[in-house]
Amino acid sequence: MSDNLEASFKTEETDKRYVELSTSVTAANGQRKRMTMKYMDAANNTDLCPLLRTSELYLTRAEALAELNGINDESLKLVSGTRLRVGLPAWTSTTFTTKGEFVNAILEERRKELSFEGHRKMDLQRRGLPLRASGAQAALSVFGGQKTVLPLPQRELDLNKSLVQNAGY
C-alpha cells in the first residue's frame, strides 16, 4: 500500500477493508509496510478476481447522481450500503455542505472499496486529477502530461490522417 492510500484508510480506523484485508509485512529493505490480502495467490493467479462488482456499480451511480443533483438521497443510500457493510457509519444529508465535497467523498470511497482492482487511474484521469499525490514522479503525473493519457490505436491513426498521437507515444 502506498503511504497515501494507507493514510486514507486510517481516517476511519474501523474500516474492515483496512483492518481485515491488509497486514503488516517486512519488505526486502527491512522496512515495515502494509500489504493487501485481497489476492493471496499472486504466483498462480487462481484468485477469483471479479470483473464487475455490485459495489462498483453502486458507487459509479452514486457519483453520477451526485454530479447531476448534488447531495441527494439516492446517492447517500447507495454509498451507505457499502459503508455499513465495512463497519462504517452511513452518511446523511448533513454530512456534507457542498456538491464538490460530496463527490470527492464518493471518489474516496471508490478508492478504498476498489483498491488494487485497477480503477484508480481511470477515476483520476476522468476527473482531470494528477496520478500521483506526491513524490518525485508527481510533477510528471499531471493530467494530460506525457504518457498519462493512453495512446491512440495505430489503426485509428492510419484511418484518420488528421489525428495526432498523444504525447509520449
Task: Indicate the domain borders of the chain.
Answer: 3-36, 54-128
Distance of alpha carbon 84 from alpha carbon 57, whole angstroms: 16
Per the CB < 8 A criterion, the answer to whether 166 and 143 are in contact is: no
Mean confidence (pLDDT) of the chain:
87
Q: In 70-160, where does DSSP find H-type helix?
A: 73-85, 99-113, 120-127, 154-159
- From residue 127, give the alpha-carbon distance in Å to each of 40, 142, 148: 31, 12, 13
The least confident of 82-86, 129-133, 142-146 is: 142-146
Distance of alpha carbon 126 from alpha carbon 26, whole angstroms: 35
Say if residue 46's pLDDT is above 90. Answer: no
What are the residues whose beta carbons fall under 8 Å from the beta carbon of 145, sequence distance 6 or more? 167
Query: Cell numbers of 5, please?
Result: 492510500
Predicted pLDDT of residue 91: 96
For cell 457509519, what's the residue?
Answer: 89
Say if residue 144's pLDDT is above 80. Answer: no
pLDDT tens for each residue of 74-89: 999 999 999 999 999 9
- For domain 54-128, give the fold: 1.25.40
- Of 16, 20, 27, nearest to 3 (Cα)? 27
